[in-house]
Amino acid sequence: MTPEQIDALAWDKQDGLLPAIVQDARSRRVLMLGYMDRAALEATLATRRVTFFSRSRQRLWMKGETSGDVLELASLDADCDADTLLVQATPRGPTCHLGRTSCFAEAPGDFLAELDALVAHRERDRPEGSYTSKLFGAGVRRIAQKVGEEGVETALAAVVQDDAALLGEAADLTFHLTVLLRARGLGWQDVVAVLRGRHAAPTP
């Protein structure tokens, strides 16, 4: 966001404050609502850590400044009336002070993105006793073999089994494909980017 775009925001509507809706950049789950004044917005853009103006404390407040559960800025946009901000961020820990992912207990999100993030954590931390850790330890070839096996089982279930069996095999295939992508340093967002590019491409 440029200085000119910041100047163009409707700061005068709510005494210099704009509501800022924070959304998980990966899962699209709404995480919280805060307020930003100009200084908070500028601090957010400068540090890439989401910062608000605390109305109760009457000062700037960086989310996670005491807990460490910061929100790392991914993107920031204003609505059509220039009086509300949409902040997409990557949370480093729970956003809610109750220890929940979101301040909205039932906020919907993209579970596939959440699974992708969990698998990424397993790849990094390799907790003992984890099946996912075992897969990563076996290497790309073994993971690829598992994807092939699950693909065959999914195809067979589609032909000779009921819907429940097909869904179960499809879930197994999706999980193992998620692990394979992560083993290659990729994620579902990369697959989505390819699909989006194909969708946007002109029809020959």
Residue 204 has pLDDT above 70, yes or no: no
The number of residues in the chain equals 204
- Cα separations in angstroms, 2 against 29, 73, 81, 156: 27, 16, 17, 55
Residue 203 has pLDDT above 70, yes or no: no
Which one-letter amino acid corresponds to residue 125? D
Query: What pTM was computed for the model?
Result: 0.72
- Sheet holding 85-91: strands in order across? 30-36, 18-24, 85-91, 71-78
- Cα separations in angstroms, 47 against 32, 51, 203: 19, 9, 42
Higher pLDDT, 81 or 201: 81
Residue 122 has pLDDT above 90, yes or no: yes
Q: CATH class for domain 3-91?
A: alpha beta
- What superfamily in CATH does domain 111-200 come from? MazG-like (1.10.287.1080)
- pLDDT tens track for 13-42: 989 999 999 999 988 999 999 999 999 999
Question: Domain map of the chain by residue range?
Answer: 3-91, 111-200
